[in-house]
Amino acid sequence: MRLLGLAARRLAASLPALLLILIGLFLLLQLAPGDTVDALMAQMGGGDERIATELRVFYGLDLSVPARLGQYLLRLVQLDLGYSAIYGKPVATVILERLPATLLLMTASLSFAFAFGAVLGVVAARRVNRWPDTLISTLGLIFYATPSFWFGLMAIVVFSVHLQWLPAGGFGDVALGLTGFAAVLDIAKHLVLPTLTLALIYLAISLRIMRAAMLEVLTLDFVRTARAKGLTETRVVARHVLRNALLPMITLIGLQVGTMLGGSVVVESVFTLPGLGRLAYESVVQRDLNTLLGIAFVSALLVIAANFIVDMLYARLDPRISSGG
């Protein structure tokens, strides 16, 4: 019950931002040159004016902007995301089709970045200013500075073109008609490069944060207390430093879910993954307003959900939060 209340509170607090986003995007896209029917005409390869006019009526584009905005919001209140002009399906269906790839990619990248970032950060902090630290920190900086799409392209050149170890793109080899474990393995193989590509910058960030947090925590009084107790350094780090140093890392996750979706636009484009990021890009190009707004809505929900999970984690890790709230 308390959990539910907390979730509801988070949601309520995010509503104004969500509304701002939806209305802002709606109005912004009205200024774009061309509408979804123009995009459709281009896709169809032409057609006469009558078809265009009929399509505009069919998609409700003949109504005034405030009327359409009002309609959209009204439908949204009933949790109806509307109908996608370009895909010819309800937006909810279109998004649900694309969600798994993105979620999988984001979860994999985030876990990878978080886990390896934490480990590398700890190693660097334990050997601060010695060669392992220098090496890890330099790597972190280089990872941070690498444009993800470029890394993806180069990874394709190396691992797909020359070594031919991993597929260059896609989300699974449908032609093979795999099922069960083989299919999972196949998807995993397809996700290796995209995951690495997307995770790269987050790996750099989380290793940096982890290292800094470790160093920060290492200077705190209770660590000195722990040492004064005669604990081994390993135990000091494992029992006292690590958990405290994880707190900023967890905050980081919440902050990065939003940007990660943006990053997946590029990565999904490089690896031709059927995900939400590419859908977003396509819906912008195709002026598919309903789909774009739907994605904004879903991504906002994702961010809210991620922050909620972060809150939960934080409360579990930090007793001060749970008793204070």
Looking at 33, 79, 131, 181, which residue binds another protein (CB under 8 A)?
Answer: 33
Question: What ranges in 219-273 are assigned the alpha helix state H?
Answer: 221-228, 233-235, 242-270
**Nearer Cβ to another protein, position 58 or 70?**
58
Does position 107 interact with another protein (CB under 8 A)? The reply is: no
Residue 230 CB coordination number (10 Å): 7
Does position 285 interact with another protein (CB under 8 A)? The reply is: yes
Cβ 170 vs Cβ 270: under 8 Å: no
Looking at 1, 4, 31, 77, which residue binds another protein (CB under 8 A)?
Answer: 31
Tokens representing 296? 């904004």
Closest C-alpha to 236, from 126, 149, 76: 126
The residue whose two tokens read 């169809």 is 44
Does position 50 interact with another protein (CB under 8 A)? The reply is: yes
Does position 40 interact with another protein (CB under 8 A)? The reply is: yes
Looking at 7, 11, 25, 312, which residue binds another protein (CB under 8 A)?
Answer: 25
Tokens representing 83? 């109908």
Helix (H) or strand (E) holding 309: helix 289-317
Candidates 62-70, 74-82, 104-112, 312-320: pick the segment binding another protein (CB under 8 A). 312-320
Site string for another protein, 190-209 (x = CB under 8 A): --------------------
Site string for another protein, 108-147 (x = CB under 8 A): --------------------xx-----------xx-xxxx
Cβ 89 vs Cβ 83: under 8 Å: yes
Looking at 108, 136, 193, 296, which residue binds another protein (CB under 8 A)?
Answer: 296
Looking at 69, 76, 269, 313, which residue binds another protein (CB under 8 A)?
Answer: 269
Distance CA 219, CA 85 (A): 58
Q: Cα 157 to chain center, whole Å?
A: 25
Does position 210 interact with another protein (CB under 8 A)? The reply is: no
Looking at 72, 81, 91, 98, which residue binds another protein (CB under 8 A)?
Answer: 98
45 torsion bin: left (phi>0), alpha (psi -120 to 50), beta (else): left
Candidates 37-45, 60-68, 71-79, 111-119: pick the segment binding another protein (CB under 8 A). 37-45
